[in-house]
Structure 1
Amino acid sequence: MPEGHSVHRIARQFARRFVGRAVRVSSPQGRFAEGAAMLDGRTMTDAKAVGKQMFLDFEDGLWLRVHLGIYGAWDFAGALELDAPTASAGGRMGQTNQRGTVVGEHEDSLASIGAPRRARLRMAEQEKVTETVETWPPEPVGQVRVRLLTDETVADLRGPTACEVLDDAGVRAVLDRLGPDPQLDDGPEAEAKFVERLTKSAKAVGLQLMDQSVVAGIGNVYRAEILFRARMNPHTPARTISAEQARDLWADWSRLLEIGVTTGQMMTMDGLDEAAHRRALASRADRHWVYKREGLPCRVCGTHIVLEEMGNRKLYWCPQCQA
């Protein structure tokens, strides 16, 4: 499932290529025909992500809310901007099984990797520039729930968990259920809200960090990595965590999220030399402390990383470093 950094990057693409433009909205699949008719022809006025959810604001107080869930993805084509330093192979922007090679040290636009102006970019857990668009607009491929089209850019949505038109009150009701997102507010009030919501429960901290009403945007990868970086046992009752420890978790999540939004990668290891950093950008196997490393020796102590299930999701941790 796409974690917070991916959804913020998708929102950036909308902000750059759709906001301020009239948008033709359709539902090639037909399942969103009524909602598409409500938005068709309106100007998009804002695009923002809150945790794993995205909100596209149209004139006259209508919003398109999208939660990609496990299978959702956006395919963009046309005039695009790519601000990630990584070209991933065979994936979707938003997902975490990123593989591929680093093209140069940074990529600031599609042109920087030799892509034509009308390229196709898939965004879900991964980002991938795929084939050239030969005709305009390109024909929808697969079961496209929603198509958003301007004169220069098209965005096709497939397989979302949630896709609905809301008014301002509906958006506010959704936002009120979400925890803080440090990309939107990393000030003392957001930090205090996180600390209060995290530590009020007797649930395990590994469950609390995945609760979107506690903190918005953390998923399986960041949960495992943040807890390892804190040397914290994921089974620790959250209410036993001190305020200082909770603030440290918030600060580390803020740092990792910023790295993810900037680079497009869930880079959770630090202190790497230049060669190791490039390997980490190119391969997830060199990017994380514990995630997807079950049975392998801990990078710090050598104890084998444990895989178990917590809250119906896979949990990776070191029983020595996080004892």
Structure 2
Amino acid sequence: MRINPQQLPQSLKKGLAPVYIISGDEPLLVQECCDQVRKAAKKVGFDERELLHAEHNFDWGLLLASAGNMSLFAEKKLIEVRAPGGKPGDKGSKALQEFAALASQDLVLLLILPKLERSQLNSKWVKALEQEGVLVQIWPVPAQEMPRWINQRLSAAGLTAEPEAVKILAERVEGNLLAASQEIEKLKLLNKSDTTITVSLLEHSVTSSARYSVFDLIDRALASEADKAITTLQGLRSEGIEPPVVLWALAREIRSLLEIGEKLNQGQPLARLVRIQKRQPLIQSALSRLAPRQLETLLLRARAIDTAIKGGTGHQSPWTGLLELTLNLSGQRSV
């Protein structure tokens, strides 16, 4: 069964399914959906939870081994698999289809994937899992829908806001739902008198942490101004900006560079691909020094940072990874 995030709470109230696939590229919504599944599972006795990171060269046999390795002290088990690549390959496809046959009320799979393309949605492994459970498809919030989304979030936080204030906030976060959510939390702390959020209060909230911007970080990295980019990164950290916000901006830009580079090679003009004129030389500069293979490597590093942020195993802290990623995007080697 395929549902959207808004339908998930009602679906969970009807009972826990053996399989949940959470698919999408919006970190905030993905995290919230996963939290809902975990909470529902915990509520009905799933005290054991095992986390598997299905990175490149992952041994999919571990999934089936985990399914057969129930704890002596827990009768129910939640297996969480994070597969940032989204393509399990032949071995993974086979293992997931085998797991679909094993899934039961005492064994639940939570599979976290990026946005699935149509070919993936029609694959045997997705169909096998979907037949046993629930596929939650998460779509980006379009720019024109951001004010409505922000209003809903404000309402859920017990806040109301002037239409102009909502519009300003929507423009500021530029589609970043995680950044919008953090701004709303900040507004909740600032608005202690339980009054409507005005433009003045919003501007105070914005200026209190606007000395450094993730968008400044991106522009300086694209311009190969490594020192300025690192200073901006350190400023973001000191002002309490969360690593997922910075990673979102860097990963989005890397993906954009790959896409623009491919279309340039097909003969499409840069002016059509990058409509903001002042950004055109920045994009051109970055593409002149970063080959597609290098950009793909940077995306893999971004995925490793995402794993570190989510508590995965590894020796690097998220901020160290972000520092190296920023240097690499600036055309410099890692420290």
TM-score (norm 2): 0.28
Larger radius of gyration: 2
* Greater strand content: 1
In terms of fraction of residues, the more helix-rich structure is 2
TM-score normalised by length of structure 1: 0.29
